[in-house]
Structure 1
């Protein structure tokens, strides 16, 4: 793993396990100060119920769309991305707190999901291109006058069985 990638991973872990819980606690305290502790708890419970209903509804839609796409023999790239976003949104909804619940709902709602789908597809495309470059070099295959390629030996295969 390169130094840059390990640093990025460390930052993401720090944000996920240190900054996010602190942010959730601060938001919970602020909301509790404004509307009271019992209303805050009620709001968290209602938020969880609405989130569970939304996950079930959108997860079912995403699964049905995926099945239909596969049955017709077409590539289900959009449907796979939607399914991944619904699952990720559900994971955010499982953690207690308003910040992660809002993020989870944004990932699950069909109105906002296309924005996140575009980000996910863009990220996945960059990762595939980067890994292909690392694995096979910048351009693999036979070379031409401008760049060398692997040595190609033309010949005939004779099976002696």
Structure 2
């Protein structure tokens, strides 16, 4: 998946980029409008996230009633959760990615792309035990021992 170094770089670069964008936008339109825009995108994002979440939940329930496996819908729910977290994080870059997660056709296209590329998917399952000789425990007796003869 991701290495420790790439995650560390991501957690350092994204906030620095967000601060840079906030300073640049604040320099152009002012501090109060910038703060208002950040709060406004968080509120609008939360409302859209709620609506999209209920929509995905309804599709999951409908598929379960039909006896189908809602795999894509569950991945959509995970992506909505990720997008919601990004929308609640102050900043324009994270809000943009969060809103991308809320657009249904784009969200499905990203999920299908990630499935085809093997970025997400069933994986290899739990770790397997090494093959080789196995020891089985149990009890045994000879028939002649049960009958009382040697």
Tell me the TM-score range normalised by the shorter chain.
0.7 to 0.9
Q: Which runs of 5+ in 1 are unaligned?
A: 138-148, 152-161
Q: Return closer, same or farther for 1:63/1:21 CA change in 2, 3 Å cut-off.
A: same
Q: Which runs of 4+ in 1 moved over 2 A?
A: 119-122, 131-137
CA RMSD of superposed structures (Å): 2.3
Higher relative contact order (CA 8 A, sep 6+): 2
1:124 aligns with 2:120: yes
Distance in 2, Cα, partners of 1:115 & 1:47: 24
TM-score of the aligned structures, taking structure 2 as reference length: 0.77
1:105 aligns with 2:99: yes
For the residue of structure 1 that corresponds to 2:119, the secondary structure is: helix
Distance in 1, Cα, partners of 2:94 & 2:70: 28
Q: Which runs of 5+ in 2 are unaligned?
A: 134-150
Q: CA deviation at 1:93?
A: 1.1
Q: 1:85 aligns with which of 55, 79, 86?
A: 79
Q: 2:5 aligns with which of 7, 11, 14?
A: 11
Q: 2:89 aligns with which of 71, 87, 95?
A: 95
1:4-153 equivalences under 5 Å are 8-121=2-115, 122-125=118-121, 128=123, 131-132=124-125, 135=128
Number of equivalent positions: 131
Structure label with greater radius of gyration:
2
Q: CA deviation at 1:101?
A: 0.8
